[in-house]
Structure formats: C-alpha cells, structure tokens
Structure 1
Amino acid sequence: MQRTIKFVLNHPFTKGRPIAALAKLFKWQLLSRLNKRPVIHQFTKNSKLWVWKGLTGATGNVYCGLHEFEDMAFLLHLLRPGDLFIDIGANIGSYTILASAEVGAHSIAIEPVPQTFTYLTQNIQLNSIENKVTVLNIGLGKESGSLTFTKGFDTGNQVATAEDTDVINVAVDTLDNILDYQTPLLLKIDVEGFETEVLNGAAHTLASPGLRAIIIELNSAGDKYGFNEDDIHQLLISHGFKVAGYLPFKRELIDATRKTEHNTLYIRDENFIRSRLNAAGKIYVQGRKI
C-alpha cells in the first residue's frame, strides 16, 4: 500500500491535489473489498474499462486517470480517426481503448495469453468498438512458429524461461506478416523483455516512413533472455528515431534520454508530430481537460 500511495501522490495527473487523490484511492480500496465483482470505470469521457481489485494494468487508471500519463496522453493527442495504432502486449486493452473508443483510430491489439486476451475482448465489447479493433491472441517474434508463455501471473505473464514450469504454448507470427504492408502511425510495445525479438520481425515496419512514433519499455527485462536492450536503442536511432519526452498539459515535446524504468518514447518527423499534438482537441479525464 505504501508504494501505491507514493505512486498516486507523485503521479503527474494528481500531483498537487493530494487530498482528492488519496480520497479516490481509499474509496476504491474500500469499495473493491466490499464488492468483489468487476465494475465499470469511466476511463475518459468516451471510454470505459472493466476493473476489479488487484487487476494489474487497470487500477492505476482508477487512481490517477491515466496510469501511464505522459504516454497515454501522447497517444490521445497524436492519433486521429482513421489512423492505425498497434498495441503489442495489449494486456487488458487500456491503450487500445483510448485509441479506438476515445479517439476513433483503428487498432490492432495483440495479446498472447488466453485469460488476459479474454479481459481485452471484454473491454472492446464494453466500448462497442469491435468495428475499429482487430484482436489477435498470438505472440510476436522474429519468425512464425510457437513459444511457451507463463500462465500463472494474471496479467503479468511473459515468454517463459527454462526455469518456468506452469506454461502454455502460444502461436507466434511476425509484425511484418500481420500488418501485410499496412503502416501504423504509432506502435506500442510492452512484452516483458521480449521486445528485441518483436523488432527482429518488424524490419519493413520500422523502415516505413509512415511510422512516426514508438512507445516501448526498455527496463533491462530482456536480460533474462540474453538480449542487450542497448541494441534496441541503436536500432531505432539508425531508423531516424530520437528519444523525446512529452508534457501533456503544455502539449510540448522536450529532449530526453532513454529511460531504464517505465516506457521510452521514440519519435521521428518531429514537425509532423508537433503539429498533430498542438492541433488535437481537448480530452476529458475524470472531468479534467488535457
């Protein structure tokens, strides 16, 4: 609980409003203990999520509006109806719901673990965006085939290592294969250390100039698979991307360095991105405009 309180008080959306933030946290903690059934949370003005106690990937949105504030706000301000967003490691679908329910963009959401995939599809159905979202219950890698995944960690499962025993087999394809020459504007990759192999199967996608931004988690989780995530950074730089930070309330891109915790934002064609961000309409989260 102490860690959660610290997260809430230091979150960019709640910082400076400690009483309101803590009241929301403790209200959720109380109600989720009294009512153990899933409830519908109003995510943004035009989107909703199924949430329940302990659901990794959702409760941070309840406490703080947008769990990964800068990255989620960047998505909301960058995308437009008709754009293509790719959500690799979609989990319960928070990013997909923002892209397709709030903004109206098309999404391809990829989630390999069957139970988590069920949560994802339930959130898509809740928002009635089946016509905007393609969901794939597969993994991504450098080639087609199959991989073993853990299955006992709720929404925190990952590609299994030799030490894992409670595992399932999952079909795997490459990003280039599933896109079939479609080009996304924005790509989000959160695959618990397997990012290297995802990008090894995405050579055409990375080379496509229509791909303007990538949100990717590089927190050394790849070490357990023998991957050096410095290589990912160099790969993206070689394709013309640069690391950037985003200040959502100011709609401002800033120079930044690669993060070793949480997500790193890579962009290219900076003038295009700045124009999109500045021209985006207001988004309402918990009654506040961003």
Structure 2
Amino acid sequence: MRYQLRWIKEILDHPTNRTNRISALLRYIRWNVGRRILDQVEYTISFAPGAKIILSNRENYATLAYTCGLYDFDEMKFLIDYLRPGDIFGDFGANVGIYSVLAGSRGATVLSVEPVPSTYTQLEENLRLNCIKGRAIRCGLSDARGRLNFTLALGGMNRVATSRDVEVVEVDVLRVDDLVEETGLSPQVIKIDVEGFELPLLKGGSSLLPNVAAIIIELNGSGKQYGYSDDEVHTFLNTIGFSCFDYFPATRELRLRNDYQRQRFNSLYINLKTLGETRLRLAS
C-alpha cells in the first residue's frame, strides 16, 4: 500500500497533471482496473500531440505513459523544443520507440536501434503507426563489431546478457560509427538507454560524437555488472567536450550541473562546442 501511495503521489505531482490531479487520479484507477480485468493486453496510447504508441499494459513504463504522457518530462520537452523538421535523432536502445515516435512527431528523421527481436517488431509497428521517417535497425551497439547475447525475459529492461542469464538471443553488434556510415544518418541528438552498456557504446562513436549537440543518457548504476561505473561514463563525456545540464522547460533554460543526475535515471549532456547554438534553438 505504501508503494502504491508513493506511485500515485508521483503521478499527481507530475508536471503534466498538476493542474488537473482529479483527472490524473481517475486515469490511474481506470488503468489499473483494466489491468486486473484484462490481464495482458495491448493499448494504443496517445502520449503527446501527433504521437501515439502501442503498449502492453504489463510494460514497466506503460502506467506512466498512460497517466502522464510525457513521463520523462524535462528530457522529452527538451526534444520537443530542440528538434526541427529535417533533424536526425538517434534512439539507441529504443525499446518499443516512445522517444523515436516523439522525435518523429516533430518532423525529425529517426535512427532507432533495438536488439531484441520481439521488441524490435513492436518498434517497427509504432514507427509505421505514426508514419515516422527514418530507419529501424535490429542490432546491438558496442566498441567493436561482433555478436553478443541479449536477455529476452526482462521486458523494457532487456540488456546485454551476463553469464547468469539463461533465456538469451545472440545478436549482431556494430559500432555507432559503423551504423552511421552504413545508414547515412548522422544524428544531432541521441538518446541512450542500454541498461549499463553505455560506455562501450560511446567508445564506438568517436567519429559521430563531436558532431552531436546533445545526449540524453540513462545512468542508473547497472553498468557495474559489466565492470563500468556511471562516474566513468560521466568522465568520458566530459573528456570529449560534453557537460551535464538541467533543462527547465518553463523558461527553456539550460543550467550547468557539477555532476550527472543521481536522483533521476536520465542525464542531459550538451556539447559545449555548440552550446550557444543549442540555447538559441531552445529559445526560439
């Protein structure tokens, strides 16, 4: 019960719900009643203007997508405010494609990467549903070409498998730079959500990263299972010219941080070389 109350409070306090908490509470109740009656079923959810997604009601983020819409509010608003038609967005570890669909709704071309076969199929369906321009690629990303095993039973948290994992699938793996060369798509903004495998992915993008304006990256401590720390990822990004910023959607302001986000999963890194241009884009 305590967990449920904390979950409800998070939903009611979310920026998209603060002005209409009663409606948000009713959506939460309706969603959970539906889950109990229908067990596992897929819904088409409209989570932003011009953006809808097919989600199973058992996905770990489906409740937030239904009750809050832009559930990663600051990061998703950054995308909405930054992207322009014709821009290219890289979604590395795209899962079923929520960030890809959001970027596509702004007129951006997407380069979406997802290694798990069943999830990749859902990603393709969501891109087709929204008529998104771009490419979906089924592969993993690392610092060398090859093949790696990925888990199959962790839903939205599937990842590169370790020796303890049993239900796995072997997948082709590329470097980010190989991916860009082979598709001809060079993203200006990338989202990275690879459940701890961030550092090898970044090291495979040495040619792309200097030309990237912003990186949204999930750092949640899961790199430890592969021998990497979030501190190492932060230091690596600092070394190649990125710094971590907070984004304030109400004023469209970027504010420099001394550290990455330790209270929330996602951190926003801005290329200092293009910081002025990025601020002008957001302001306009």
Fold match (TM-score > 0.5): yes
Q: Is 1:213 equivalent to 2:218 in the alignment?
A: no
For structure 2, the residue ranges without an aligned partner over 5 or more in a row are none
Percent identity reads: 38
> Structure 1 residues 146, 3: closer, same or farther in 2, change over 3 A?
farther
Q: For this pair of structures, how many residues does the alignment match?
A: 274
Q: Which residue of 1 aligns with 2:256?
A: 255
Aligned pair 1:195/2:198, yes or no? yes
> Mean alpha-carbon deviation: is it higher for 91-100 or for 227-236?
227-236
Aligned CA distance change for structure 1 residues 221 and 37 (closer, same or farther; 3 Å) = closer
* Cα root mean square deviation, aligned: 1.7
Query: Residues 210-240 of structure 1: CA distance to partner in whole angstroms, max 9, x if unpaired?
Result: x110001122110111112222211211222
In 1, are the aligned partners of 2:111 and 2:187 still within 8 Å (CA)? no
Please give the alpha-carbon distance, in whole angstroms, between the structure 1 residues aligned to 2:236 and 2:206.
10
Q: How does 1:63-74 map to 2 (within 5 A)?
A: 63-74=67-78
Q: Does 1:15 align with 2:25?
A: no
User: d(CA) in 1 for partners of 2:174 and 2:81?
Assistant: 30
SS of the counterpart of 1:253?
Answer: strand
1:16 is displaced (CA, Å) by: 5.3
Matched, 1:272 2:274: no
Partner of residue 283, structure 1: none
Structure 1: runs of 5 or more not aligned: 280-290
Say whether the 8 Å CA contact 2:159–2:194 is kept in structure 1.
Answer: yes
Q: Post-superposition shift, 1:111?
A: 0.5
Counterpart of 1:38? 42
8 Å contact kept, 1:43–1:49? yes
Q: Which residue of 1 aligns with 2:97?
A: 93
Separation in 1, partners of 2:56, 2:113? 22
**Cα separation, partners in 2 of 1:2 and 1:146, compared to 1, 3 Å:** farther
One-letter amino acid matched to 1:114: P
Counterpart contact for 1:149–1:158, Cα < 8 Å: yes
1:145-224 to 2 correspondence within 5 Å?
Answer: 145-180=146-181, 182-208=185-211, 211-224=212-225
Deviation at 1:206, TM superposition (A): 1.6
Q: 1 or 2 for the larger relative contact order (CA 8 Å, sep ≥6)?
A: 1
1:49 corresponds to 2:72: no
Are the aligned partners of 2:111 and 2:185 in contact in 1 as well (CA < 8 Å)?
Answer: no
> For the residues of structure 2 that align with 1:127 and 1:183, how far apart are their CA atoms?
22
Q: In the alignment, which residue of structure 1 is the partner of 2:124? A: 121
Between the aligned partners of 1:17 and 1:255, the Cα distance in structure 2 is 32
The change in CA–CA distance for 1:43 and 1:234 in structure 2 (over 3 A counts) is: same
Partners of 2:115 and 2:61 lie apart in 1 by 16
- Decide whether the 8 Å contact of 2:101 with 2:126 is kept in 1: yes
Question: 1:182 deviation in Å?
Answer: 4.6
> Structure 1 residue 114: deviation in Å?
0.7
